[in-house]
Structures are given as structure tokens and as C-alpha cells.
Amino acid sequence: MNHIYAIDGIVPVVHETAFVHPTAVLIGDVIIGPGVYIGPLASLRGDFGRIIMKEGSNIQDTCVIHGTPEQDTVVEVDGHIGHGAVLHGCTIGKNVLVGMNAVVMDQADVGADSIIGAMAFVKKGMLIPERSLVAGAPAKIIKTLTDTEIDHKRLGTHMYQRLAQRSLATMEKVTPLRQVEPNRPRLTPDMIYPDYYRP
């Protein structure tokens, strides 16, 4: 069962290569692009304004995405939204990481290749330059990110792009086992990110 709803005749759009967990909720003017991953219990409410998740982006468990009629809420290509984050009427630039339980408010614009630290509060209208590390409540720009730091962020995003593929291919509802089977298989790094794993 999925939780995808139209409102006022506007139906969410989900690309065939995107994965939306069955417990996630999509309402109304929500557009999910190619290769996007939407995690368990995420809520994307396009009942006040448009929400756009662009190619390869991800929204993880329990995130809340909402907005206003005046401005779309946009996560650009390769945007990476950590567990429990809240986005409201803002723009998340290309290859940005929003950390766990962070909040990004209306009209904020986060420049490409930036990182918003866990539990940060990005206030309304804050403009964040590209390659910024932002942390705190209220959020402040801490420094400019190095190429190495940005590359590390990309690896995490690639893992979620791979997870969208794995979920589409292998996730299924099952009855739990009653005991651990002999030689129980384990998840291995090459399964999680085979194109990037180096032993």
C-alpha cells in the first residue's frame, strides 16, 4: 500500500526510476525526479505549494517537506536530506547535504556543494554561498568546504542513489523469521556502493 494522494485535482508525479517507501506520504503538487530515494515515514505535502525533488536527490526517514504558494520547495540534483530534517519553502542547491534534524526555512537559498550541519536552524531568507559549511541555531557560515569534504559528501549521496536501485529491485514485504538461520548473509560494502568501494 502506498500513501500518495491528489488534492484539488493535482496528482503527485513519481519517475519510474525513483523509489518511494510505502510508508512515505506524498500529497498534491509533488514532483519526484529520476533516481530519487524517498525514505520511510517521510512527508512531502504539496498542498500549499509545489515540491520538486530533482534527479538523484534523496529524502531520508521522517523528513518533512512543505512550503507556500509563493515559492516552490526545491531539492536540486544530488541533494541529500538527512534523517528527520525539515524543509519549508526553500531551495536546496545541487549536491548539498542537509544534516539530520536540521531545519531550513522559507526563502532560504542554500548554494551548491554546501553542508548544513545536523540540528542547524537556517532562518527565513538566509542566502548561503556555494561550498559553505553551516552549523548552529541560528545557523552561521563556519567555513568554505574543501574538495575532499565535498567528495566525501558525494559518496554518501551515491549510496542513497544505489539504495533507490536496490529497493526497487529487492525490497519486499515479508514475514519475519523466528530464529537466525545458519550462515545468515550480511550486507557488504560492495553491495551498498559497488561503483565506489575499494577494499
Q: Are 58 and 42 in contact (CB under 8 A)?
A: no
Average pLDDT over residues 26-30: 98
Q: What is the mean pLDDT of the chain?
A: 94
pTM to 2 decimal places: 0.93
Q: Are 95 and 115 in contact (CB under 8 A)?
A: no
pLDDT in tens, 93-110: 999 999 999 999 999 999
pLDDT at residue number 199: 42
pLDDT in tens, 112-150: 999 999 999 999 999 999 999 999 999 999 999 999 999
Residue 59 phi, psi (nearest 5)? -125, 120
Residue 57 grid cell: 536527490
